[in-house]
Structure formats: C-alpha cells, structure tokens
C-alpha cells in the first residue's frame, strides 16, 4: 500500500444545527481523518425528512472544526454550475485553512434532485459527458487565474479566479465513479477515487466488484501514462452485505480485506436510521473504533510500509 490508511465519517444533514456541531466536534476530537456531507436537494432515500444544503453546511462546519479534513461526498452536478462549484471550493478552502477535499459526482437518473430542481433526466451518455466537462472546468479554474472553456454542455469565458487556493496546486479532487467511462475520467483528473458496492451484494461479491473496478482504473492510468499510485482509493461502506460494526474483530477483518485490494481510505456512515446497526456507526461504536481499533490498525500499516 502506497498511501497511509485513513478513516472518515459521513453524516446526514437531517438533525438540528447544534446537534450536528456536537457530532462534528466529537468526531474530530476522536481523531478521525475526515468528515463528509452529501449534496442532494433532499435525502434521496427519505424525501420527506428534514434536510440541509450540503455546501452551506460544509462552510459552517469549517468554522466549527480546526484540524479534520472536510469534504463533499459528493458535489452534485445536477443543479450546480461547475464554475460556481470552483468558486465555492476556492472560498471554502480559505475558510477551512486548506482542509477541503472537493468531491464531485454525476449522481444518477434516480436522484430526485432532477425533478425537484427542474432539471431533465439525462441519458447515461450525456451524464458522463457532463461529468467530464464539469471536472475539467473545476480543475482548470482552480489551477489558473483566467479560464475559457467551450464544451458541449458547459462554457466559461475569461472566468477569473483570485486569490489562489491555499492548497497547491488546488484542493484534492475526489471523484466518485463506478462505470468504465467514469473511471476513465477519474484516471485523468482525480487525486482520490471514491466508490461503493451495492445494496444487494454479498461481502464477497462486493469485494470482487471493487477489485475489478480498481484494476480497471489502474489500467486506464497506465494507458494514459499516469502512475496509478497517484490516486488514493476510498470506499464508502454500509451499502453491502458486510457488517463491519458487529464487533471489533469484524471491523479489523473488513478493513484488512479491502486494504488488500488497494483501498486505503474508509468512509463510514454515522447515525443513519436506514442502515442496520452492524453496518452503520452509533455513538458507542464510533468511540470504540476510534480508541481500540484504528490506532492499532494505523500502527500496523505504518510498520508494514517501512518493510
């Protein structure tokens, strides 16, 4: 493994703000590496539930934490102009003092954000092309002071970006992808690739699928002349048959199996009612994992990386 092993938490933005702040600060105090929020217009799995905007919440979160990396998992291109995404990222990178990880994804035709924001549902081919153009624009704007871009779906003319972001050459791009075409975009632009398994997959089916995707991504990197090791592989857990929180042994086994196929960053749901307790962290297990499991796992991987 070429990247240090990391552990992040994703929370739902459906609780009162004071409660969310307490959760965020508690997670940071436990030593987790990253905090993530989603970016849907509503909770796609419970559209009638309470919900807050992801980017507004992330900006507020930046002022209530001081050391933990924060990010979107992932920014939704359905209702966000890519040039505006770049401006939001530049601003938030300064607010957070260089702690932003910029996640971007194409989402899917099932996302209610389409109909609720009046955006027609795109075909798969159009969705992939929009994803590529959006990523290209964000990448260029965050690297350059002036950018002009003419795509099929998005255009910017003499877009100015000052001041430069704190992180150089720009905040890390975390691109979510599962399909071959999207993985090709990841190979070109991503610093971090994020993926997930599937609701109806067994643990072995999920492991085999992620291994296959990882191999595809590595092959795309080689094809375009990029070192595959430049891209961190991260996994959003909780959407497969795995039960990593059934016990500390189950957690260590889960991390071990996925790290063997190249996953070095694990992101777990916290306090998500729709996910069973053995797949989602509650407060007690959040603390046990942080104090009893993660330090030993990190020490072990650090020692192995020196050998």
**Each residue's pLDDT tens digit, 99-115:** 999 999 999 999 999 99
Residue 23 contacts residue 270 (beta carbons within 8 Å): yes
Examine the pLDDT at 97 and tell me if it is beyond 80: yes
- Domain for residue 202, yes or no? yes
Examine the pLDDT at 207 and tell me if it is beyond 80: yes
- Domain for residue 240, yes or no? yes
The region of weakest confidence among 7-16, 178-187, 208-217, 298-307 is: 298-307
Examine the pLDDT at 254 and tell me if it is beyond 80: yes
Tell me the average pLDDT of the chain.
Answer: 95
What pLDDT shows up at residue 277?
85
Share of the chain above pLDDT 70, in %: 99
- Domain for residue 117, yes or no? yes
Domain that holds residue 274: 6-306
- Domain for residue 60, yes or no? yes
Domain count for the chain: 1
What pLDDT shows up at residue 87?
98
Examine the pLDDT at 1 and tell me if it is beyond 60: no
- Which residues lie across from 194 on neighbouring strands? 176, 234
Residue 235 contacts residue 194 (beta carbons within 8 Å): yes
Residue 104 contacts residue 74 (beta carbons within 8 Å): yes
How many other β-carbons are positioned within 10 Å of the β-carbon of residue 274? 12
CATH number for the domain spanning 205: value is 3.20.20.30
Mean pLDDT across the stretch 79-83? 97
Mean pLDDT across the stretch 116-131? 97
Mean pLDDT across the stretch 36-45? 95
- Domain for residue 169, yes or no? yes
What are the φ/ψ torsions at residue 248 (nearest 5 degrees)?
Answer: -65, -35
Tell how far CA 39 is from the center of its chain: 11
What pLDDT shows up at residue 307?
63
Residue that the structure tokens 């069973």 belong to:
276
- Domain for residue 1, yes or no? no
Mean pLDDT across the stretch 228-236? 98
Residue 243's pLDDT band, with cuts at 50, 70 and 90, is very high
- Domain for residue 182, yes or no? yes
pTM of the full predicted structure?
0.96
Residue 199's pLDDT band, with cuts at 50, 70 and 90, is confident
What pLDDT shows up at residue 204?
96
């Amino acid at each position: 493994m070429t990247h240090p092993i990391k552990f992040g938490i994703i929370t739902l933005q459906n609780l009162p703000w004071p409660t969310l702040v307490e959760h965020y600060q508690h997670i940071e105090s436990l030593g987790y590496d990253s905090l993530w929020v989603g970016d849907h217009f509503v909770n796609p799995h419970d559209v009638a539930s309470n919900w807050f905007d992801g980017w507004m919440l992330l900006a507020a979160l930046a002022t209530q934490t001081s050391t933990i990396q924060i990010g979107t998992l992932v920014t939704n291109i359905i209702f966000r102009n890519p040039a505006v995404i770049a401006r939001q990222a530049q601003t938030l990178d300064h607010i957070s003092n260089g702690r932003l990880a910029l996640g971007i994804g194409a989402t899917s035709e099932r996302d209610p954000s389409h109909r609720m924001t009046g955006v027609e549902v795109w075909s798969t081919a159009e969705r992939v092309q929009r994803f590529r153009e959006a990523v290209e624009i964000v990448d260029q704007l965050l690297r350059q002071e002036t950018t002009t871009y003419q795509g099929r779906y998005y255009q910017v003319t003499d877009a100015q970006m000052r001041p430069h972001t704190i992180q150089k050459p720009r905040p890390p791009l975390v691109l979510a992808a599962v399909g071959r075409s999207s993985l090709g975009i990841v190979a070109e632009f991503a610093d971090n690739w994020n993926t997930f398994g599937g609701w109806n997959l067994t643990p072995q089916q999920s492991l085999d699928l992620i291994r296959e995707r990882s191999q595809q991504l590595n092959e795309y990197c080689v094809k375009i002349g990029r070192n595959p090791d430049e891209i961190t592989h991260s996994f959003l857990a909780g959407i497969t048959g795995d039960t990593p929180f059934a016990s500390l042994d189950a957690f260590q086994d889960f991390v071990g199996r996925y790290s063997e196929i190249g996953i070095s960053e694990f992101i777990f749901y916290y306090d998500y009612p729709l996910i069973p307790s053995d797949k989602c962290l509650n407060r007690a297990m959040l603390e046990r994992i942080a104090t009893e499991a993660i330090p030993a796992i990190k020490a072990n991987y650090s020692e192995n990386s020196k050998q």
